[in-house]
Amino acid sequence: MQRKHLPLIAATVAMAMASAAGYAADAKKDASKDANKPPPISKQVIKSLIAAQTAIKGEKWAECVTNAQTANAFAEKTPYDEYAINDLLGFCALRVGDSATAATSFEMVLNSQFVDPARKISLLKGLMQIYYQGKNYAKAVEFGKRSVAEGVADDDVYLFTAQAFYLQNDYKGAHDFLVAWLGGLAQKGAVPRENAIQLYLSSCIKLGDDACTVRALELAATHYPKPDIWNNLMTLMLRANASSEKALLNIYRLSFEVGAMRRGDDYTEMAQLAMTQGLPGEAQAVLESGIAGGVISSDRDKSTAQAILATAKTQSAADRATLAKQEKDIAAAKTGDPDVKLGLAYLSYGQFPQAVAAIQRGIGKGSLKRVTDAEAQLTLGIAQLRAGDKAAAAASFGAVKGDDTQLRLARLWAQRAK
């Protein structure tokens, strides 16, 4: 995975630590008469803090660091002295590029009893950023998780905390953190960042978890569909369902729809599956598309394709000539299987309204055995989508109830209906 740096400009974090520059001036005031004001700065550190503030005004950052460290060297300091000194020291150390000192100082500020609760948000994020850029990923994770636990994490904090897990080779930690974040976004109906999904995908791959990888690719295809995403997703789904011809054909249908079939073998394998399941019209359409698109190009693929195509054309011609008779013959059928099969035939020949009507009749009759209810609903959605009725298609895809593969196919088809 390519490492992405968070743009951390000193001025940006300095704004988050804005209160740092005012301590020396406030130290001259008598705070004893106002209970809402913080305690006064001790006399022994006032001179050094005033000098540090003067250096800040002149943008003499190294001089500021020196004076703040001088103040910090006094043995007898109050807790408020330490809070004020470290806030100034962190501010100036960051400006001179001393991120280690800045981080140590700001940690003390964050953990002080005097820190404004509202300011903790910027301190937590700033510390996460400082540690991340300093490649102290364990500490970056620590402060990222604290932001999440306190409910103040934004998308940047989530993303770079996950990256900090990943860059420590803690792929399980990155995965679990991302799953919780992405799941929360899904519940709110929010679209995740593309690089967050990519990080999730990379974590799954590093873990060698195919099921996890498929879930990540599905998420990517849902929100950021790209040819490589579709191709990889279809490849893994085909591999995971190699023993189920019906599942394979349904996966190939979606692959064909999204343009993810890149090899001649894809077309010939899909055509063979269609022929096996009594759908010569679908086999013919797929092969003709592969040949016309130049994907079926090698001598071996062409030879296989032409042989299947010749048989498909012969069977298609005979099948199409009997469609009207088939519909009449199955009208009295008590189960829905013949109607659904007829609907698939209509679908393969591009007769979409007839396909929708036949499949709906089959689902209405029920008692499906040759196809499952989930397969029938999925096919109905495809027919409705191709007939131009996106709303009905979305409803049919949403009605699919089945195994993980069927549900995933339904969700992905539903994206096509939007």
The answer as to whether 285 is a domain residue is: yes
CATH, residue 350:
1.25.40.10
Q: Are residues 107 and 39 in the same domain?
A: yes
**Selection from 95, 50, 44 nearest residue 68 by Cα:** 50
Is the distance from CB of 71 to CB of 49 less than 8 angstroms? yes
Over residues 211-227, the mean pLDDT reads 95
Under the banding of pLDDT at 50, 70 and 90, the label for residue 18 is very low
Per-residue pLDDT of 337-378, as tens digits, reads 999 999 999 999 999 999 999 999 999 988 888 888 889 999
Q: How far is the C-alpha of 397 from the C-alpha of 320, rounded, in Å?
A: 28
Same domain, 348 and 378: yes
The neighbour count for residue 131, using CB atoms within 10 Å, is: 24
| pTM score | 0.84
**Hey, what are 302's tokens?**
């062409």
Domain boundary among 85, 115, 145: 115
Contacts 24+ apart (CB under 8 A), 161-165: 161/128, 162/196, 162/199, 163/3, 163/4, 163/132, 163/199, 164/128, 164/131, 164/132, 164/137, 164/138, 164/140, 165/137, 165/141
What the block records as the tokens of 6 is: 């968070």
Is 390 a member of any domain?
A: yes
Distance CA 152, CA 50 (A): 34
pLDDT digits (tens, 9 = 90+) for 295-344: 998 888 899 999 999 999 999 999 999 999 999 989 888 889 999 999 99
Residue 127 lies inside a defined structural domain of this protein: no
Judge whether 8 and 133 are in contact, CB under 8 Å. Answer: yes
Q: Which of 115, 144, 176 is the last residue of a domain?
A: 115
- Do 291 and 320 form a contact (C-beta atoms < 8 A)? no
Write out pLDDT tens, residues 179-201.
999 999 999 999 999 999 999 99
Q: Where are the alpha helices (DSSP H) in 208-279?
A: 210-223, 227-240, 245-258, 264-276
Both 63 and 110 in one domain: the answer is yes
The answer to whether 408 touches 214, Cβ cutoff 8 Å, is: yes
Residue 174: count of CB within 10 angstroms of its CB: 27
pLDDT surpassing 70 at residue 20: no
CA distance 229 to 213: 11
Evaluate whether residue 415 is within a structural domain: yes
In the predicted structure, residue 29 carries a pLDDT above the cut 90: no
Determine the average pLDDT of the residues in 76-103.
91
Q: Tokens representing 78?
A: 């109050």
* Domain termination site, one of 86, 115, 144: 115
Structural domain for 406, as ranges: 322-418
**CA distance linking residue 44 with residue 170, whole number of Å:** 47
CA-angle at 191, arms to 254 and 157, nearest 5°: 135
* Whether residue 19 is found in the same domain as residue 105: yes
